[in-house]
Amino acid sequence: MSARTARPSLYISVDIEADGPIPGPYSMISFGAAVAGRQDGASYTAADPERHTFYRELRPISDQYVPEALAVSGLDRDRLLREGAEPAAAMAEFRAWVREVSAEAGAQPGMCGYPAPFDWTFLYWYLMNFGGDSPFGHSGCLDMKTLYATKARVPLRAAVKGRMPRELLSARRHTHHALEDAVEQAELMSNLMLWTPPSTAGPAG
């Protein structure tokens, strides 16, 4: 029996801002997404990360928050309590957007982040808690730190932007505005996917 052909992947860069370390006791207060690119087999095509984007600011879901975490985003919690989107409505809109851009690309959506674990934890929890469905499935995420560590053959803890070749980094600033950071990270994703690291092999004997 022939091997099943893998579907192309559409990588969607997601960045979230939260007011604490874990979802449930604490809240995701904003999130942004930008289409980074499409992979079909060994071929990767970068997208314009500003073309397809999504952004919402959310109403907090609990009274708990860590002041230092909240301060990172620069968002006003009182304003979010009054004006933030209801999480269930925002996640429904996000699911629809992910499926629309994925259908347009003829590809299966995958979330990517730098680093992905924190953002994925909040995103997946919100998708499942507010609607019970994730367009990425339960494991459709790619961590850019791991991608770099694997390609560069460095320990995971050494996979930091300050040690990456300059040509991999976006020229955009990291602002802690979720959409701006999602766009910045989409460029990093495409640069990583298209990067061929210098050979680490020694001279032939």
Q: Is 52 a catalytic residue?
A: no
- Which of 187, 176, 129 shows the shortest CA–CA distance to 29? 176
Catalytic residue among 52, 138, 174, 176: 176
**DSSP structure class, residue 50:** T
Q: What is the largest CA-CA distance in the chain?
A: 70
- Give the CA angle between residues 176, 119, 155 to the nearest 5°: 95
- Cα–Cα distance for residue pair 36/176, rounded to 1 Å: 18
121, with CB counted inside 10 A (0-12, 13-18, 19+), is middle
What DSSP string describes 95-143?
HHHHHHHHHHHTSEEEEEETTHHHHHHHHHHHHHHTTS--TTTTT-EEE
Give the active site residues: 176
